[in-house]
Structure 1
Amino acid sequence: MVIHKNMHVEKVRLMKARKQKEIIESAIKLFAENGFTNTSIQEIVNDCGISKGAFYNYFPSKEALHIAIFEYYFEQMRARTLEIDAEQLPPREKLVKLLNVPFEQLAQQKDFFMVYMREQSFTINKELREVMGKTQFEMLTWYEKNLKKVYGDKVNGYTGDIIMLIEGIRSSYLAAILIQNSQIDATLVPTFIMNRIEDMVSSFENGEEPIMKNNLLDLFTNQSCSSLNHHEKASSLLADMKEQLEVMNFSDAQKEGLTGVLAFLNSELQKPSIEKYAFQGMLANLKTVKEFDIYREKLASLLAIELL
């Protein structure tokens, strides 16, 4: 009896998820054509063939749907990024593939990128700003981690300027391809960006001083995600670490131990005030995982903790 009940609950959940996906896809098409403000719920339900009353069974408002759209597509980009990170590739080749993710997604989800470009300059509400800011924070963290894998100590103190270069070129080419309908071969852009990174690293090796003096990740998150406090940013980093751990080549026992460390750290972040020495000690347990080095540094910086 319990098994049948669980199967029914799962069936209902899957049916709801499918319908939510249909509504999201209808809405993103209409938002891309007409803009968020000029698209009514009635137009959305007409397009996906449901009643207005049924719409509210899936989303409490048009604003909630708008946020769900961004979460849905950002999750697809995150999944693709994790997939690349799990591949056994030389660091430089992996970074090029990472740089290609937005262009790869653009080819598949042009309507979403049209809406995303509009929202870059005008976000609808605080919650959407948080979603966009969190995603940007994650992407910049991925860039920094992989830059250090490719260049090691050569980029210490310079990653901020390099990421600014990446973001500037990437955004400009995405806009040119999407908004201006430029005849640009998007498959060439990631390698082009990688070559510019090489030029920049050579320039720094020859003594050029960096322009970015502050932590770039703090700058971006303060601008686009200012309502997130340091504990929330740290929780986001721990969530990324947990996702990466799931695809790492460790034994079940090792994964269980590391998962326990991450769970402890996350539980500390839920407290009004963390026990810094306990947090510091548990962070030290992650030193054996080289892929976590950049995350340990960011956590220590966010929470004003010295790494052991």
Structure 2
Amino acid sequence: MIKKQLIMEKSLELFAKQGFEATSVQQITEHCGISKGAFYLSFKSKDELITALIDHFMSQFISNIDYVVKNTINDDQLLFEFYYATFDSFQKQSDFARILVKEQMQSFNEDLILKFHSYDRLIEKIILEMIENLYGEDVKHTKYDLIYCIKGFMSMYSQLFLFYNVPIDSNLLSQSLVEKTNLLAKHTTIPFISEDLIDMIKQPIKDDVTKEQVLELIEQKLIELGDSIEKQSLILLKQQLLEPTLSPVLVKGLLENIRNHPHCKWIGFLLRRYFGF
């Protein structure tokens, strides 16, 4: 395990117990068994470490739901797969998800608030794409209300995983929310949230990454990855960015190779958007 990953994993254990503010760099280095100098070779500050953890968690979550929305062929299954992927992510990353919920409610750090808003807008964009695919013109005037209803379901029911020690049947929960969402889509007639209101309150989405920035991210990941199929796939995807020669089928296969690697989620998400998958 490279030192950066070790610091992220070990610091998460402390943050889960104590929160961001109460955890010091000294405590992190002692918990990792490394020197402060080694810490600062990986991260310039505790804030940079926190940002890296947020990016890691959110990139995996967003990449997962985006993949579901774009690759579930059967529309009858799309909502179910979306909700199931949402709660599966919360279950697998419950420690950090719990921290995020608490910190968002307590945070006065403007940079963190802007980062949360930016990811929130990406999630809304994915949900809107799903709604338009599923319901089309039938929800022309209510689709923005539906976005907030779906986000509300995700937030409220995820708290069952995070704050209550009760067994949760993700399959049943997802089926139940599919039924509720379909009822809202079919019967809502008095929308409150309009496109104009969305434009007024939205923050800019920071997903307009340039090809140069994607190439820089790939270079970073190539350093972090050992010799593996993911690394070889990233090398070929980098070449495709620089000089397109591969067929769409091959590109899609290479993207599949990196999709499930925990440290390739975000770059996979960006590459899918760049290549149009």
TM-score with structure 1 setting the length: 0.64
Equivalent residue for 1:71? 55
Residue number among 147, 157, 171 corresponding to 1:187 in the alignment: 171
Q: Which amino acid aligns with 1:171?
A: S
Q: Is the 8 A contact 2:6 2:32 kept in 1?
A: yes
SS at match of 1:236: coil
Residue number among 133, 152, 170 corresponding to 2:154 in the alignment: 170
Instruction: Using the TM superposition, give the Cα deviation of residue 238 of structure 1 relative to its aligned residue in structure 2, in angstroms.
Output: 6.6
Equivalent residue for 1:299? none
Equivalent residue for 2:207? 236
Equivalent residue for 1:213? 194
Equivalent residue for 2:234? none
Residue number among 88, 105, 113 corresponding to 1:104 in the alignment: 88
Residue number among 124, 127, 132 corresponding to 1:140 in the alignment: 124
Q: Is the 8 A contact 1:67 1:127 kept in 2?
A: no
Structure 2 Cα separation of the partners of residues 193 and 126 of structure 1? 33
Q: Which amino acid aligns with 1:221?
A: K
Residue number among 45, 63, 66 corresponding to 1:61 in the alignment: 45
Between the aligned residues of both structures, percent identity stands at 25
Equivalent residue for 2:28? 44
Residue number among 124, 128, 141 corresponding to 2:112 in the alignment: 128
Q: Which amino acid aligns with 2:122?
A: E
Q: Which amino acid aligns with 2:39?
A: F
Q: Is the 8 A contact 1:23 1:44 kept in 2?
A: yes
Equivalent residue for 1:269? none
Query: Deviation digits for residues 46-93 of structure 1, max 9, x if unmatched?
Result: 222211121111111111111111001111123323432453521242
Structure 2 Cα separation of the partners of residues 24 and 73 of structure 1? 11
SS at match of 1:37: coil
Query: Deviation digits for residues 196-238 of structure 1, max 9, x if unmatched?
Result: 111112213xxx221223456546634xxxxx4xxxx3x5257
Q: Is the 8 A contact 1:32 1:111 kept in 2?
A: yes
Number of residue equivalences: 221
SS at match of 1:141: helix
Query: Deviation digits for residues 122-163 of structure 1, max 9, x if unmatched?
Result: 225222222211111111111110111111101112112112
Structure 1 Cα separation of the partners of residues 209 and 36 of structure 2? 39
Distance of aligned partners of 1:178 and 1:194 in 2 relative to their CA distance in 1, 3 Å threshold: same
Instruction: Using the TM superposition, give the Cα deviation of residue 181 of structure 1 relative to its aligned residue in structure 2, in angstroms.
Output: 2.2
Moved more, 209-218 or 49-58: 209-218
Structure 1 Cα separation of the partners of residues 197 and 32 of structure 2? 42
Q: Is the 8 A contact 2:10 2:28 kept in 1?
A: yes
Structure 2 Cα separation of the partners of residues 27 and 123 of structure 1? 19
In structure 2, runs of 5+ residues without a counterpart are 215-236, 238-244, 250-274
CA RMSD, Structure 1 to Structure 2 (Å): 2.9
Distance of aligned partners of 1:19 and 1:219 in 2 relative to their CA distance in 1, 3 Å threshold: farther
Residue number among 147, 154, 167 corresponding to 2:138 in the alignment: 154
TM-score with structure 2 setting the length: 0.70
Equivalent residue for 1:270? none
Q: Is the 8 A contact 1:103 1:187 kept in 2?
A: no
Structure 2 Cα separation of the partners of residues 174 and 49 of structure 1? 34
Equivalent residue for 1:11? none
Structure 2 Cα separation of the partners of residues 95 and 142 of structure 1? 12
Structure 2 Cα separation of the partners of residues 44 and 238 of structure 1? 32
Q: Is the 8 A contact 1:91 1:146 kept in 2?
A: no
